Structure 1
C-alpha cells in the first residue's frame, strides 16, 4: 500500500505539493499499489489517470483549494457507509472533467447501494431563509460545515462526464447521503453529463443555489431520482431517470421529481424559495413490485416550470399520483406550469393540482434526449 497523503509525496505520474503531515489522516487497508485518499486537502492537487485511488474516509477539499481529477481516473470508495465521502467545502473547487471516451468514475469496493456516502459540493449562493440574502445552513453530514450566502455566481468547479455509483449511506433516520448533493452551489459551477447509478437515497439533490445542470442520468435510486429544495433557482436540461424492473429497494415515498420551496416545508415564510426550470425530462418507473408516491411532486411553496416531460410506468409498476402539486405543508405556487405526456401504463388523468397552477397533459412529448447518454453504454 502506498500511504498517499495527497500532499506529502510527489510521484512522476501525479502532481502534488507539500504540506504538514497532520493535515491528512491515512487509514488502513488497500493493496501495495493503492493510493489512499482521506483527510483535509489544503493545497491544489491533481489525480492522474491510471493510478488506483482508494477513498478510505472523508476527504475535505478546503476553501481556496482545487482538486483536479484527470479524464479516465477511477476513485474506488472503501465500503464504509457514512464515513466515506468527498466534500468540497465553500471556497473549494473540484475540476473533474472527463470525456465521453474517458469518463471519471467514482465506485466502491462493495458494489451495492449505500456502500459509501457520495459527493457533496458546498457553495456560497442564495438559499431560502428569513433574510433576503446571506442565509446559511449546516451540511447534513456535518452541521459545522456551512453553505449558502449571497454569491449566486459562485463556482465550486466543474464536473463533466462523471459516473457516481453505489452511494447513499444513511446517516440517521432523517438524514442521508445522496449520489450528488449540491448545497448552495452557484451558477459559476459546471455540471454536465453525469451518470448516477444504484444509490440508496436520492440520485441528485439541490439544496438551494443557482447552479444549472444538463444531461443528468439517474439509474435506480432508492428514494427520489431528482430532488429540489431550500430555494433552488436554476435550470436543468435533459434529465433522465429510470427505476428498472427488479430494483425493489424503496423508501416510504419514492418519486421521480420531488420539489419543495423551503427545507422540509418547515419554513413557509422563507424568502427566496425554489423557483426552477426543467427543459426535457423523462421518468420511467418499471419496477413491478414498487409503488411510487408520485411521478412528479411539486409542493411547499415551490415554483416549477417543466417542459417536454414524459413520465411512464410499465408492467404492474404503479404510482399513487401522476402529477401532484398538493401537500399538507403547502401546495406549489400558482406560477407552477408542467407540460407532460403519460407513457406506458401511466394514468395521465391522476392529477392533483394547486389553485392557479397549470398541468397540461399532451400526447406528443419526447422527453429527454437519450443520445446525450450514449457515452454511458446504457441500452435505453
Structure 2
C-alpha cells in the first residue's frame, strides 16, 4: 500500500482495548433456531456463531445485549449448504441491538479474536456475509416489492418493500460489522449492512462497517435515517443507495485504502426502471469522505477506472450533501449522469432542484483543483458531457462549495510535540467554524465534516473512539520527532536509520526479555503498508525494512511487544 504525501496528514486515533469475549460459551445458530412470533435474547456471556443464512422471521424479536459478539462462518465451514453466513431480519421482525461505546455489539468472522488488533487486518474481507434488515417502507420497484440483493430470488423471507414508510425494524446502536461481504457467486456479494425498504421508525445510530468485500452500507428504498456511520476499507462503495431511498443521515465517515480494489465513497442510484417512483432524495449533513490518495491507484473496482470519482449520481438519483468534507481522491469529486437515452436522469434532478451540494469543502483531487476539473456531467458510458459539465460546475460554485484545504488534525508542524491524531477538523482551521444552519431534523453545528473539531492532543475524542474496528486496529499514542529513543516497560525503540530513508531503513530496538515483536510501517492515515512479526531474544536487535517502493512522505514505525507499543516517525525521500 501507499499514501499521498501532499495532503494534510492525519491518522485515526485507535485504542488497543477492544471489546473482547473471554471464555464465553459458543452457541451455533442455524436457520432452524429462529422462528416467527418468538422473542430471543442474545447475551454477552455467550459467543454466537451464524451457520448459514439465518432468518429472523416475521413476528419475531431479537434482543442483543451490549458487548455481545456474533460471528459468521465462512463458506468452507458452513454446514447448512449455504455459500456463507448472514443474519437476515425479515419483514415484520425486529432486532434490538443496543451496544454502547464501552461495550459495542460486534459482528465479525468466526475466528477473529476481537481482543487482538493483529490477527485480522484491513485486507481481510469476505470472511462471512453481513447483516440484512428488510422492512415494509416504499421502494421504487414495479409492484412495490422485490427480493433483496445477494439472496436467492425464490426465498420469500427475503422480500422487502410495501406502503408503510414509518415501519419499525428495531434499533442498531453502537454496532460494528467487520470482515464481511462474502461472494455468493460471480459479482454477487453481500453488503456489510443492507437496508431494504427499512422505514423511518427504525433507529440506526453509531454503526460501522469495516473491511467488507462489497459495499459498506447499501439502502434499497425506504425512509430510515442513519447517523454516526463509519465505513472503511471496503472492496466496493462506501455508501450506496438505490430504489428510491428518501431518508437521510448526519455524521458519515468513509475511508479508502490505496492499492487494493475499492469503489467510490458514495454511489447513488435511483429507481429501477428509471421512471419508477419514488425517486431517491436523501439529505446528508456532515460527511467526511477520504479517498485513496490524489496520486494513488487502485488495483480494481471503480477507483481503478479511467474516471475515478468520490461520489457518483446516476439513473434518476437525487439527494443533498451539506457541510461536508471530501479529500484525497485520485480522480474527480462528483459526477452526475446526463444520459443520452433518458430525460429522467440525475442531471435532470439537478436542474429541478432535487439534487444539490451546498457549502462543502473539496481538497486534493487527482483530476485538478478547479470547478471544471472536479464537478462533472457524464453520459451512461461515463464519458464527460462538456456542456452539461459546465453547468454542473457553475451550480456547485453558486451553492457555496469551497475548493480549499479544510485542515484536518495532523502530524504537521503545529503538532511537533506529538499526541493523538485523528480526522477531526483542526480547532483553529477554516472548517471548524461558520458552517451554515441545518434544516429541521438535523443538528446545527459550527463545523464541517463528520467530527467535532479539536486541537491536536486535547481530550475531545471523535465519536469513533472506543467501539469501532478503526479504533481497535489502528494506533493511538505519543509520537516522537523521529530522533532519539522511546521506551516503555523496558522495551526501547530507536529512530530509524537513515531518516529520511531512500532504500533500506534499519530499525533498532531492545527487549528486556524474549518476546514476539511486530513491527508495522503505517502511513499517516493509519493504513499498514509493511509489517514483520518475529520472536527475538532479550537485548539489542535490528530489523532492516525495504522502503524503496513506498512513495515519498511521512510514515510511522510501530513496535508492539508484550503489551507495549512504541512509535517513531520515518520520512521516505527518494
**Structure-2 change in CA distance of 1:33 and 1:101 (3 Å):** closer
Provide the residue aligned with 1:139 in structure 2.
148
The structure showing larger relative contact order (alpha-carbon pairs under 8 Å, at least 6 residues apart) is 2
Cα displacement (A) at 1:32: 10
Matched, 1:369 2:451: yes
1:83 and 2:84 aligned: yes
- Deviation of 1:374 after TM superposition, in Å, equals 2.0
Secondary structure at the counterpart of residue 49 of structure 1: coil
Aligned twin of 1:325: 336
SS in 2 for 1:128: coil
Name the SS for the 2:464 alignment partner: helix
Task: Flag structure 2 segments of 5+ consecutive residues without an equivalent.
Answer: 1-22, 77-82, 112-119, 378-387, 405-429, 432-447, 453-461, 476-524, 526-574
Matched, 1:307 2:398: no
Could you tell me how far apart the structure 2 residues matched to 1:289 and 1:171 are?
A: 27
In the alignment, structure 1 residue 39 sits paired with structure 2 residue 34: no
Cα deviation digits, residues 348-367 of structure 1 (max 9, x gap): 43211468764243145531
Q: C-alpha distance in 1, partners of 2:204/2:24?
A: 34
C-alpha distance in 2 between matches for 1:175 and 1:139: 12
For residue 211 of structure 1, report the CA deviation from its aligned partner.
0.3
Equivalent residue number for residue 195 of structure 1 = 208
Residues 86 and 120, structure 1, Cα contact 8 Å, conserved in 2: yes
Deviation (angstroms), 1:179:
0.3
- State the distance in 1 between where 2:365 and 2:152 align: 42
Cα distance in 2 for partners of 1:323, 1:245 equals 19
1:275 aligns with 2:275: no
**Deviation readout 1:87-131 (Å, 9 max, x if unpaired):** 000000111010010000011035420111100000000001346
| 1:198-347 correspondence to structure 2 within 5 Å | 198-245=211-258, 248-250=260-262, 254-263=263-272, 267-286=273-292, 288-290=296-298, 291=303, 293-313=308-328, 318-319=330-331, 321-328=332-339, 330-332=345-347, 333-334=349-350, 335=353, 336-339=355-358, 340-345=360-365, 347=368
Q: Which residue of 2 aligns with 1:169?
A: 182
Q: Secondary structure at the match of 1:359?
A: helix
Q: TM-score, normalised by structure 1?
A: 0.83
1:92 corresponding residue in structure 2: 93
Give how far 1:372 is off. 2.1
Report SS of the residue matched to 2:137.
coil
SS in 2 for 1:324: strand
Deviations 1:312-356 (A, max 9, x none): 11xxx612x211012547334122111331123453432114687
Question: Aligned equivalents of 2:185 and 2:326: distance in 1?
Answer: 31
- Of structures 1 and 2, the larger Rg is shown by 2
Measured against aligned partners, the alpha-carbon deviations of 1:111-156 in whole angstroms (never above 9, x if no partner) come to: 420111100000000001346xxx0001221323210000000011
Matches for 1:5-154 after TM superposition, within 5 Å? 33-40=25-32, 41-42=34-35, 43-80=38-75, 82-109=83-110, 111=120, 112-130=124-142, 135-140=144-149, 141-143=151-153, 144=155, 145-154=158-167
User: C-alpha distance in 1, partners of 2:170/2:248?
Assistant: 17
Provide structure 1 residue ranges, at least 5 long, that are not aligned to the other structure.
1-30
Correspondence for 2:375 among 351, 358, 376: 351
Are the equivalent residues in 2 in contact too, given 1:130–1:271 (CA < 8 A)? no
> How far apart, in 1, do the equivalents of 2:24 and 2:45 lie?
15
The alignment partner of 2:233 has SS state of strand
Q: Deviations over 1:181-228 (max 9, x none)?
A: 000000010111011100101000000000000000001011100001
Name the structure 2 match of 1:8. Answer: none
Alpha-carbon shift at residue 61 of structure 1 (Å):
0.3
- Give the deviation of 1:174 after TM superposition: 4.4
SS of alignment partner, residue 142 of structure 1: coil
Q: Which has the higher strand share?
A: 1
Distance 2:152 2:165 in 1: 23
- Which of structure 1's runs of 4+ aligned residues deviate more than 6 A? none
CA distance in structure 1 between the aligned counterparts of 2:146 and 2:75, rounded to whole angstroms: 26
TM-score by length of 2: 0.56
1:169 positional shift = 1.4
- Figure out how many residues of one structure are paired with residues of the other and give that number: 336
